[in-house]
Amino acid sequence: MNDFQYHNTTDIRFGRNHIDAELHDAVAQFGNKVLLTYGGQSIKRSGLYERVLKLLDGLEVVELGGIAPNPKIDSVREGQKLAKDNDVQVILAVGGGSVIDASKVIASARYYEGDPWDLVVKANGADRMLLPQLPVVDILTLAATGTEMNFGSVISNPETEQKLGTGGPQSPAVSFLAPELTFTVPANQTAAGSMDIMSHLIEQYFDKAPANDVSKGLIEGLMRTVIKWAPVALDQPDSYDARANLMWSATMALNGIVRSGNQNGWTVHPLEHELSAYYDITHGEGLGILTPRWMQHVLNEDTVALFARFGRNVWQINGEDDQQVALEAIDRTEDWIENLGIPMTLPAVGIKDEANFNVMATSAVKVGQLQTNAYVGLNVDDVITIYRESMKDWQKLSL
């Protein structure tokens, strides 16, 4: 178990009865000049937009709508200008991961004189830029990324074909998690969001830190929860229990708790970020396609014990033979993803040829530091192999 620091001050208001009673004060505690951010038309259709405006009565609200999935740096630039021009004191983000991610970067861009893409590019290393941030309050409308209780954002730049993670000094100040707001999330987004949660858990579970049973035990519990409730949410979109378990799992999967004491970086996310940077596919679908192929590729005599633990404690597979339990666990994972309705090959999401595999693999290895920092080190050829396997139908591994 490695050393760690955990410090997360996000104030979570979870459930049915918080928004109407508490939203106004949660925002107004930071000032009366509010930047309201959101995505497309869905919050207008659902009535949430009107409801929020009514609750903000008495505050000065400027709006930035139209923040797209895989949020683009242009939205951040627009938000930066609005925040400065209007001397905004707090951002209220209403939406899913994209809206909140963009808002967190706008919160820092408010205090930056240059182009906010700098804040994304210079997120790591010696020249890291860590500006102050406006407080962000959010109302989450999709269970997926966990951004509602962490420091990170992922921003895309179509000009440079880059999709990069960045982190600010603060997690959101207050996050309202109201599961019933996700009743209207369509099946494909429910599936992609659930896969995103599952992927975050998998990325942090397959970790080299010795004897970190707290992390692994917490993650196993969250995985079983997502495995159980995602199909229910697809079958009964207005099941409060299903939506609530998915939403809180999403937050817990990526608020830093479950990776405490961990060691290595992530693998499948860097591989997927290349796909959605080049082809703008749905992030959760890319993860769903890549994850079982990655598992198959990194299963070896060093990793089989952890894959077998995953099989026994998460998939509740009986059996003495680690290798067989591991193979069955990977098959069960693939099967669960497929049953969510996620297209399971790259051609099925529109990636018809290998033209960009080399350049994408090179970038993934570099950005993800995959040779030195991954659970199992991967080089460019390894990544190309995983992309190539993702072109074909899945072949069952276990007997």
What torsion, rounded to 10 degrees, do the Cα atoms 272, 179, 29, 110 define? 20
Q: Closer to a copy of itself at the Cβ: 253 or 340? A: 253
Q: Which position has the token pair 């919050």?
A: 43
CA distances from 118 to 103, 107, 166 (A): 16, 14, 10
User: Rounded to the nearest whole angstrom, what is the least distance from the CB of residue 295 to a copy of itself in the complex?
Assistant: 21
The window from 50-58, 91-99, 241-249, 354-362 that contacts a copy of itself (CB under 8 A) reads: 241-249
Residue 4 makes contact with a copy of itself by CB under 8 A: yes
Q: Which position has the token pair 């709006």?
A: 63
Q: What φ, ψ does residue 14 adopt, rounded to 5°?
A: -110, 130
Please pick, from the candidates 228, 366, 388, 392, the single residue that binds a copy of itself as defined by CB under 8 A.
228
Please pick, from the candidates 229, 266, 307, 315, the single residue that binds a copy of itself as defined by CB under 8 A.
229
Residue 291 makes contact with a copy of itself by CB under 8 A: no
Please pick, from the candidates 72, 110, 163, 216, the single residue that binds a copy of itself as defined by CB under 8 A.
216
Each as own residue / partner, the long-range contacts of residues 344-349 (CB below 8 Å, 24 or more positions apart, any chain) are: 344/288, 344/289, 344/393, 344/394, 345/289, 345/390, 345/391, 345/392, 345/393, 346/275, 346/289, 346/387, 346/390, 346/391, 347/391, 348/289, 349/279, 349/281, 349/282, 349/285, 349/286, 349/289
User: Rounded to the nearest whole angstrom, what is the least distance from the CB of residue 3 to a copy of itself in the complex?
Assistant: 3
Structure tokens belonging to residue 58: 């008495």
Please pick, from the candidates 15, 31, 341, 343, the single residue that binds a copy of itself as defined by CB under 8 A.
15
Residue 302 makes contact with a copy of itself by CB under 8 A: no
304: Cα within 13 Å, side-chain hemisphere: 10
Residue 221 makes contact with a copy of itself by CB under 8 A: yes
Q: What is the DSSP letter of 393?
A: P
Span 22-81, contacts to a copy of itself by CB under 8 A: none
Residue 389 makes contact with a copy of itself by CB under 8 A: no
Structure tokens belonging to residue 367: 């950005």
Residue 14's CB is within 10 A of a number of other CB atoms, namely 15
Please pick, from the candidates 34, 233, 244, 326, the single residue that binds a copy of itself as defined by CB under 8 A.
244
Q: Closer to a copy of itself at the Cβ: 80 or 175? A: 175
The window from 36-44, 120-128, 239-247, 284-292 that contacts a copy of itself (CB under 8 A) reads: 239-247
Please pick, from the candidates 159, 213, 235, 354, the single residue that binds a copy of itself as defined by CB under 8 A.
213
The window from 1-9, 61-69, 113-121, 278-286 that contacts a copy of itself (CB under 8 A) reads: 1-9
Please pick, from the candidates 33, 77, 122, 224, the single residue that binds a copy of itself as defined by CB under 8 A.
224
Please pick, from the candidates 145, 170, 194, 245, the single residue that binds a copy of itself as defined by CB under 8 A.
245
For residues 287 and 228, what is the distance between their CA atoms, to the nearest angstrom? Answer: 19
Q: Closer to a copy of itself at the Cβ: 5 or 395? A: 5
Q: What φ, ψ does residue 389 adopt, rounded to 5°?
A: -60, -30
User: Rounded to the nearest whole angstrom, what is the least distance from the CB of residue 163 to a copy of itself in the complex?
Assistant: 30
Please pick, from the candidates 80, 249, 262, 267, the single residue that binds a copy of itself as defined by CB under 8 A.
249
Beta-carbon contacts of residue 336 (< 8 Å; ≥ 6 apart): 227
Q: What φ, ψ does residue 58 adopt, rounded to 5°?
A: 95, -15
Residue 143 makes contact with a copy of itself by CB under 8 A: no
Q: Determine the size of the site formed for a copy of itself (CB under 8 A).
A: 46
Return the exposure string of 328-354: e unless at least 16 CB atoms fall within 10 Å of the residue's CB, then b: bbbbbbbebbeebbbbbebeebebeee
User: Rounded to the nearest whole angstrom, what is the least distance from the CB of residue 211 to a copy of itself in the complex?
Assistant: 4
Q: Closer to a copy of itself at the Cβ: 7 or 352? A: 7
Give the orientation angle of helix 213-235 with respect to helix 304-313, to 10 degrees: 50
Please pick, from the candidates 1, 62, 131, 348, the single residue that binds a copy of itself as defined by CB under 8 A.
1
For residues 211 and 261, what is the distance between their CA atoms, to the nearest angstrom? Answer: 9
Q: Which stretch of DSSP H or E encloses residue 300?
A: none
Q: Which residues of the shown chain bind a copy of itself in the complex (CB under 8 A)? A: 1-18, 179, 210-214, 216-222, 224-225, 228-229, 240-241, 244-245, 248-249, 252, 257, 260-261, 318
